[in-house]
């Protein structure tokens, strides 16, 4: 048989295979390791996975890579980011060091509103240029697919500009992007005395325009399109979030929810009732909602770089979520305020140290489960026959070093849709 690319002799071929859905419970600790493994690729898809001796005998490849002494694993999937924005919030970083909390900064007009002002002021070209560098770094660190949210425009014009920036970046970068519409991130200053009025603006004006944008974009037919809401004090109530997400579903946008970051308001139960694809943050999620998530198809996405960056000592109950049987994913939450983090390996390292996750669990949470948090578990996130050939070759013989080592980059080669990028 012929193949375009054959990667063979990997000391560890880590497949993260999970043909029946997201990994839960003990399965999350199984990375599907094949010693001396190989993978064959044709037309951007995986056509065979197995022992090197078998694939070397079965395939004649146009190009081969000897991965001796190295790990081959799936490309990372970052299922929660705010990658597109202008400006920075380094001054708020210093304020937090001085004792100000995230919520205090937000209530004083900083936080999301600060980035909103910079993002509104930036042209589309400036917004793309600012985000391009960040995206290139993420790709070099192994992220081959990333969800990207709007939410720093908070007006129809600026939110559509953010969607245009996401689309342009997706077209020009090998890293595959998945758009999420987050107009309900916070209330913009011009609506601060009429939050319900802004919610109606999102529902009646912005969502129909977002749907129209998606229908005319290259994403249509090739990607899911999500809607998200920040359900929190100084943002949106459970009732307001429910209205936005219900309307989003009616327009064909799949629901996600920022929930339980600082306060447990009841948003998890609401999101599950709407069959949300994921609920994200969960730092203060209670035991009852952990049980609800364990019984649900909805992914629990935890974001440990946020707690680390904010200097907090408590983190989302990842260990409890796993042990109870919830489907858990990890993501960076890359954003200019609470998580200026581009590295999923760093997220894995934090989750292992502060949330008692095993390196195997952390890797599955950044690959196959993160893919399911984007509704794309059948296409990406693992090394299985028929899936898109998104792979990494790591400069280590042991995948556990992804979480064990700190501050470096073990990614030596990135393969996206069967194409060798570096």
pLDDT single digits (tens) 55-64: 999 999 999 9
Q: Is 100 within a domain?
A: yes
Give yes or no: residues 109 and 43 share one domain.
no
Compute the average pLDDT of residues 107-128.
Answer: 91
- Check the CA dihedral 358-360-362-364 and report its sign: negative
Whose CA is closest to 330, among 369, 359, 297? 369
Residues in the chain: 422
CA angle 258, 360, 35 (to 5 degrees): 145
With b meaning 16 or more CB within 10 Å and e meaning fewer, what string describes 64-80?
Answer: bbebeebbbbbbbbbbb
- Taking the complete model, does pTM exceed 0.85, yes or no? yes
Q: Is 377 within a domain?
A: no
Compute the average pLDDT of residues 321-348.
Answer: 98
**88 Cβ contact list (under 8 Å, min separation 6):** 336, 340
Between CA 184 and CA 380 the distance in angstroms is 29
Q: What does the DSSP 8-state code read for residue 186? A: B
**Mean of the per-residue pLDDT values of the chain:** 97
Flag whether pLDDT at 139 surpasses 90.
Answer: yes
- Check the CA dihedral 139-253-162-271 and report its sign: negative
Q: Is 288 within a domain?
A: yes
| pLDDT tens, position by position, 280-304 | 999 999 999 999 999 999 999 999 9
| pLDDT tens, position by position, 228-246 | 999 999 899 999 999 999 9
Q: For position 422, what pLDDT does the model report?
A: 66
Residue 237 to residues 163, 229, 230, 233, 363: CA-CA distances in angstroms? 25, 10, 9, 7, 34
To which residue do tokens 């994913």 refer?
Answer: 329
Provide the number of structural domains found in the chain.
2
Give yes or no: residues 136 and 229 share one domain.
yes
The two three-digit tokens of residue 338, written as one number: 């609470």
Q: Is the model more confident about 107 or about 281?
A: 281
Q: Is 103 within a domain?
A: yes
Give yes or no: residues 140 and 18 share one domain.
no
Give yes or no: residues 112 and 232 share one domain.
yes
Give yes or no: residues 110 and 50 share one domain.
no
Q: Is 317 within a domain?
A: yes
Q: Is 84 within a domain?
A: yes
- SS3 state at 273: helix
Give yes or no: residues 111 and 27 share one domain.
no
Give yes or no: residues 302 and 415 share one domain.
no
Between CA 320 and CA 356 the distance in angstroms is 10
Q: Is 189 within a domain?
A: yes
CATH value at residue 211: 3.20.20.140
Give yes or no: residues 81 and 69 share one domain.
no
Neighbours of 18 (CB within 10 A): 23
CATH value at residue 46: 2.30.40.10
Give yes or no: residues 36 and 144 share one domain.
no
Phi, psi of 50 (to 5 degrees): 170, -155
With b meaning 16 or more CB within 10 Å and e meaning fewer, what string describes 331-351?
Answer: bbbbbbbbbbbbbbbbbbbbb
Q: Is 117 within a domain?
A: yes
Out of 372, 396, 412, pick the residue that ends a domain.
Answer: 372
Give yes or no: residues 177 and 300 share one domain.
yes
Compute the average pLDDT of residues 82-111.
Answer: 86
Phi, psi of 194 (to 5 degrees): -150, 70
Compute the average pLDDT of residues 253-269.
Answer: 97
With b meaning 16 or more CB within 10 Å and e meaning fewer, what string describes 375-394?
Answer: bbbebbbbbbeebbbbbbbb
The two three-digit tokens of residue 403, written as one number: 């979480």
Give yes or no: residues 88 and 129 share one domain.
yes
| Domain span at 297 | 76-372
| pLDDT tens, position by position, 209-228 | 999 999 999 999 999 999 99
Give yes or no: residues 290 and 202 share one domain.
yes
């Amino acid at each position: 048989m012929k193949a375009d690319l054959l990667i063979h002799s990997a000391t560890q071929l880590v497949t993260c295979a999970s043909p029946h859905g997201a990994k839960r419970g003990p399965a999350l600790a199984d990375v599907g390791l094949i010693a001396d493994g190989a993978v064959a690729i044709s037309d951007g898809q995986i056509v065979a996975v197995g022992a090197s001796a078998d694939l070397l005998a079965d395939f004649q490849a146009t190009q081969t890579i000897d991965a001796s002494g190295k790990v081959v694993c799936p490309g990372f999937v970052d299922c929660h980011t705010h990658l597109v924005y202008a400006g920075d919030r380094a001054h708020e970083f210093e304020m937090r060091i001085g004792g100000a909390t995230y919520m205090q900064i937000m209530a004083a007009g900083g936080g999301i509103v600060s980035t909103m002002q910079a993002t509104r002021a930036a042209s589309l070209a400036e917004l793309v240029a600012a985000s391009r560098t960040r995206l290139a770094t993420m790709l070099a660190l192994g992220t081959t697919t990333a969800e990207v949210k709007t939410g720093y425009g908070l007006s129809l014009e600026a939110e559509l500009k953010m969607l245009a920036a996401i689309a342009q970046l997706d077209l020009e970068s090998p890293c595959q992007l998945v758009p999420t519409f987050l107009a309900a991130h916070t209330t913009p200053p011009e609506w601060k005395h009429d939050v319900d009025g802004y919610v109606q603006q999102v529902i009646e004006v912005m969502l129909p325009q977002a749907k129209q944008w998606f229908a005319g974009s290259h994403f249509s037919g090739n990607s899911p399109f999500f809607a998200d809401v920040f359900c929190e004090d100084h943002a949106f109530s459970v009732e307001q979030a429910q209205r936005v997400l219900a309307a989003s579903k009616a327009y064909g946008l799949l629901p996600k929810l920022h929930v339980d970051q600082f306060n447990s308001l009841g948003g998890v139960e609401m999101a599950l009732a709407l069959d949300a694809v994921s609920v994200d943050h969960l730092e203060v999620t209670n035991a009852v909602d952990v049980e609800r998530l364990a019984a649900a198809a909805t992914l629990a996405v935890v974001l440990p770089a946020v707690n680390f960056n904010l200097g907090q000592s408590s983190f989302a109950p990842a260990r409890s979520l796993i042990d109870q049987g919830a489907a858990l994913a990890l993501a960076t939450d890359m954003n200019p305020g609470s998580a200026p983090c581009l590295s999923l390996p760093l997220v894995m390292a934090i989750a292992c140290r502060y949330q008692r996750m095993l390196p195997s669990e952390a890797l599955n949470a950044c690959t196959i489960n993160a893919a399911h948090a984007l509704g794309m578990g059948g296409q990406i996130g693992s090394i299985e026959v028929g899936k898109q050939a998104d792979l990494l070759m790591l400069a280590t013989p042991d995948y556990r070093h992804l979480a064990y080592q700190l501050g470096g980059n073990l990614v030596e080669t990135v393969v996206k849709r069967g194409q060798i990028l570096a």
